Homo-oligomer: A and B are copies of this chain.
Amino acid sequence: MRVLGVDPGLTRCGVGVVDGVAGRPLTMLGVGVVRTPADAELGQRLVAVEQGIERWLDEHRPECVAVERVFSQHNVRTVMGTAQASAVAMLCAARRGIPVALHTPSEVKAAVTGSGRADKAQVGAMITRLLRLDAPPKPADAADALALAICHIWRAPAQNRLQQAVALHTAQATASKGRTA
């Protein structure tokens, strides 16, 4: 499975592509940052984020896009930009029919380090080890994007089984309703 991880942001939007399946060594296919100038108009910055994400989708053709789930309890000013950048990333993927998955920061940290409260250095160290890199990817947004992609590759099998179970249950419930009606 090839996954594009996106750590959304207006000033720096981390992007990283990882290929692999749970239980096997993973491969990094690319990592980078989509930047937009802080003094540009908001609409123009969103267009720049869209163009950046589109380039990554064109080049790597991921099967899934994993985006960090944004919460609004954080810094008020930052969170709006993060929500808007994440909307653009989700839009780009959904427009192409690519499934979008959202993972919280603590799910991502727990997936790659074993602890939902790990710090940036710990996440960077694990990314370096898991992807067999020479040094931690920089900036931190780029490392976080790779962590999101890895988190999704590892969590996806369990999530898919859960979704299939729910779908099966719903189908059975509908069928039994049909019989009693």
Contacts and interface: CB of A to CB of B under 8 A. Distances in A.
Interface of A: 41-44, 46-47, 50, 70-73, 76, 79-80, 83-88, 90-91, 93-95, 99-100, 102
Contacts of A90: 42-43, 46, 84
A-B CB proximity, top 8 nearest: A43-B94, A84-B87, A83-B83, A43-B100, A87-B87, A43-B90, A46-B91, A47-B94
For this chain, the copies found in one complex come to 2
Q: What's the dominant secondary structure at chain A's contact region?
A: helix
Most interface-central of A72, A73, A99, A100 (chain B CB within 10 A):
A72
A91 B47 contact: yes
Contact of A72 (B41, B80, B86, B93): B80
A129 to B, nearest CB: 32
A41 B83 contact: no
